[in-house]
Structure 1
Amino acid sequence: MMLTETQKDDLARDLPSFLPTLPENPSLSTRLRVGLQALKALQVNPTDPAWGALFYDSVEIGLCASLARNFSRHEEGRRLLAERPSLKASAMDLDALEKLPVGSLGHTFARYFRDQGLTPIDTLTPPKNDAQYVATRLRETHDLHHMVTGYSTDVLGEMELQAFTLGNLHLRTSLLILLQSGKASQRVPGFDAAQYARRLWTAFRRGGQSRQLASFRWEDHWATPLAMLREQLVAPARQWN
């Protein structure tokens, strides 16, 4: 629902004058309170990265704590938690990545941002614990998930990636986005509601049959051909058509 400027002003007046923070082990009531504040802020300014991250953490921190516990059970995950590599904008050298061989993950990653006039996400608040790190990691790797799955960044592609992520990681934010996307099919030329729903169901099933992407260490594979990573990480798209 689009808000009028008056409604946005009313919401803005109810917001705190400072950005709230989540404690290390927030209770459900704290997560609900902070999450609702973040949701109000995002209705006023949907692209605000700080409030977006806070809403994400409020919704997903429980799942991310569970993922962190799973990470601690295997070598790849333990290494991620110990070293906490970052893919935030200030830690990335797109110029260096673009010099890697054409078709490699790194070169494709750099061109992805250059061609669309974008920059990688910049995490504003360092994670305080493993659960917060996993939440940060999932936000920072969103565009890599686009690349490895092949889903585009238009309306349909974004919703397909959310459906894939729901099947792959069971993120509540993905479910919320999909539930709010009922009219998205009207903005996808050439697709009616039934075709749109079928594409999302296909992406969901594909995500469930693919390797869980949360613990994959992308930084070790900048020189690896993207086509090879797709074969290793995700179920073939044609399998679900």
Structure 2
Amino acid sequence: MLFQKLRQLNIDLLSVGKGTISLLRNAENTDSVYDIEDGLRSTKAMALAVEYVKRDEAIARLFAERYIAPPPDLDALLKLPPDSLGYIYASTLTAAGFDPNFYRKVEVTDDITYMLLRLRQTHDIWHLVTGFETSVFGELGLKAFELAQTRRPMSIVLICGGLLKTLTDAPESLDGILNDLSKGYRMGMTAKPFLAQKWEEHWERPLAEWRQELGIA
């Protein structure tokens, strides 16, 4: 009965199941996150998330334009002023040994696939502007922020998985995770839409200026 209901929701059970099991084993496994999201791509929840974000006129224009930024040139960004978004982005990724193009690519065929690609492309920028670290706590805080701003179903799955793993593996950390989740959601509800921003066209702007404009305390 449960599996029949899940099929009616257009969930790719194999992809979601594989990703969920892998994520519970290793919370830092990025591929498992993409497996879950790809499995939820055709759900009504994802379609409603697109409808939700497109209520904002600036986001709707971005969707219509299908704006996709070119891959960032970290060497060029490191020549920008030290307080700029571009410099901080490049120096942070370089110090951590992160590849800015690490994310799983998506062929853009509709609004849903465009939204997924754009969110994956700007994930690290959202981390910097919100101030959430790339730790497990920080990722969950950012997922709460994303949930408030986009209603992205993957955010709900990851938050639930994070809470479940904390309860079973590290219940003493529950207060910290709940604090980050609460902080992220409140911040997401009050901040201006991140999905509407063409960050890559204004790398030179100070990070502090971005935060002030978008309402990030």
Give the alignment's TM-score, normalised by structure 2: 0.77
Does residue 86 in structure 1 map to residue 63 in structure 2? no
Q: Give me the whole-angstrom Cα distance separating, in 2, the residues matched to 1:68 and 1:206.
A: 16
Relative to structure 1, is the Cα distance of residues 171 and 98 closer, same or farther in structure 2, using a 3 angstrom cutoff? same
Counterpart AA for 2:18: A
- Helix, strand or coil at the partner of 1:214: helix
- Count of matched residue pairs: 200
Relative to structure 1, is the Cα distance of residues 95 and 81 closer, same or farther in structure 2, using a 3 angstrom cutoff? farther
Counterpart AA for 1:40: G
Q: Give me the whole-angstrom Cα distance separating, in 2, the residues matched to 1:97 and 1:63.
A: 36
Counterpart AA for 1:200: L
Aligned 8 A contact 2:63 2:111 in 1: no
Select which of 166, 187, 196 maps to 1:184: 166
Q: Which structure 2 segments of 5+ residues have no match?
A: 1-6, 24-28
Aligned to 1:36: 13
Select which of 166, 184, 190 maps to 1:209: 190
Counterpart AA for 1:112: T
Relative to structure 1, is the Cα distance of residues 37 and 167 closer, same or farther in structure 2, using a 3 angstrom cutoff? same
Counterpart AA for 2:47: G
Deviation of residue 204 (structure 1)? 1.2
Aligned to 1:99: 79
Tell me which structure has the larger Cα radius of gyration: 1
Q: Give me the whole-angstrom Cα distance separating, in 2, the residues matched to 1:218 and 1:95.
A: 17
Counterpart AA for 1:172: P
Counterpart AA for 2:10: R
Deviation of residue 80 (structure 1)? 5.2
Give the alignment's TM-score, normalised by structure 1: 0.71
Q: Deviations over 1:48-93 (max 9, x none)?
A: 376355235345631353156436x44x642453252136xxx221
With 205-214 and 116-125 compared, the bigger mean Cα shift is at 116-125
Does residue 51 in structure 1 map to residue 44 in structure 2? no
Q: Deviations over 1:100-145 (max 9, x none)?
A: 1111111111112111111123443320123311121112211111
Q: Give me the whole-angstrom Cα distance separating, in 2, the residues matched to 1:137 and 1:48.
A: 17
Q: Give me the whole-angstrom Cα distance separating, in 2, the residues matched to 1:56 and 1:119.
A: 26
Counterpart AA for 2:35: W
Relative to structure 1, is the Cα distance of residues 110 and 68 closer, same or farther in structure 2, using a 3 angstrom cutoff? same
Does residue 61 in structure 1 map to residue 46 in structure 2? yes
Relative to structure 1, is the Cα distance of residues 81 and 68 closer, same or farther in structure 2, using a 3 angstrom cutoff? farther
Aligned to 1:170: 151
Aligned ranges 1:1-241 → 2 under 5 Å: 29=8, 31-32=10-11, 35-42=12-19, 43=21, 46-48=29-31, 51=35, 54-55=38-39, 57-58=41-42, 61-67=46-52, 69-70=54-55, 73-74=57-58, 77-79=60-62, 81-86=64-69, 91-120=71-100, 121-182=102-163, 183-184=165-166, 192-236=173-217
With 157-166 and 141-150 compared, the bigger mean Cα shift is at 157-166
- Helix, strand or coil at the partner of 2:41: helix
- Helix, strand or coil at the partner of 1:163: helix
Deviation of residue 149 (structure 1)? 0.5
Bigger relative contact order (CA 8 A; separation at least 6): 2
Deviation of residue 222 (structure 1)? 0.5
Aligned 8 A contact 1:160 1:203 in 2: yes
Deviation of residue 221 (structure 1)? 1.4
Q: Give me the whole-angstrom Cα distance separating, in 2, the residues matched to 1:62 and 1:113.
A: 32
Aligned to 1:23: none
Aligned 8 A contact 2:166 2:173 in 1: no
Q: Give me the whole-angstrom Cα distance separating, in 1, the residues matched to 2:133 and 2:159.
A: 16
